[in-house]
Amino acid sequence: MKLSRRSLLKYSIATAALASGGAWLVSPASIDFKPMPRLTLKPQYQQVFWYLIPAFLEGAVASDDVARKQHVLANIDQAFSILEPHTQAELNQLLEILASRGGWLLLSAGAAQLSELSIAQRLLLLQQWQRHYLQLLRQAYQGLHELITAAWYGDPTAWPELAYQLPVQARGLVND
């Protein structure tokens, strides 16, 4: 079979378009916030948490409260570092998917980038993950929920707002 010049050009253009589209899908989303340099989490992972913290901690941490979000993000980084290696690996895979354009497009069912969603839209998306028929999405929701809420509720500086008093028996066990 002889390939004409016209066919060769068509196939070349189609191949280039597919390759560039595939590269776009696996490329990380752009970073549109200032990552914290001293954290071990990659800036792309920090960005995922940055936009999910106000949704998971609705009412406790506002979207525009930069200092509080940085504090929770630092706690997440610390908690992440003490997780079991297999749990870290699974969470890294999830964060890699959420931070990539194609992964986000797939898991969000075509929603805009995480940074472009309002709190109400993020909450709706998280509710969809929580009740999704795919166990993988429910596990993703549960893992992110546990890590973010543990970073917030496990921090003694957040306890006064919660009117929480450490039990007398536990005093001395926690640096509060």
> 174 pLDDT band (50/70/90 cuts)?
low
The DSSP call for residue 37 is: T
Q: 77 near 41, Cβ under 8 Å? A: yes
Q: Where are the alpha helices (DSSP H) in the chain?
A: 5-26, 43-56, 66-81, 85-99, 101-107, 119-130, 135-153, 159-162
Comparison of pLDDT for 76 and 164, the residue scoring more: 76
Q: What is the dihedral of CA 165, 170, 172, 176, to 10 degrees?
A: -30
**Side chain identity at residue 38, one-letter code:** R
Instruction: Kindly report the pTM of this predicted structure.
Output: 0.78
pLDDT exceeds 60 at position 74: yes
Question: How many Å apart are CA 32 and CA 43, to the nearest integer?
Answer: 10
138 HSE (CA, 13 A, CB side): 5
What average pLDDT score do residues 162-174 get? Answer: 73
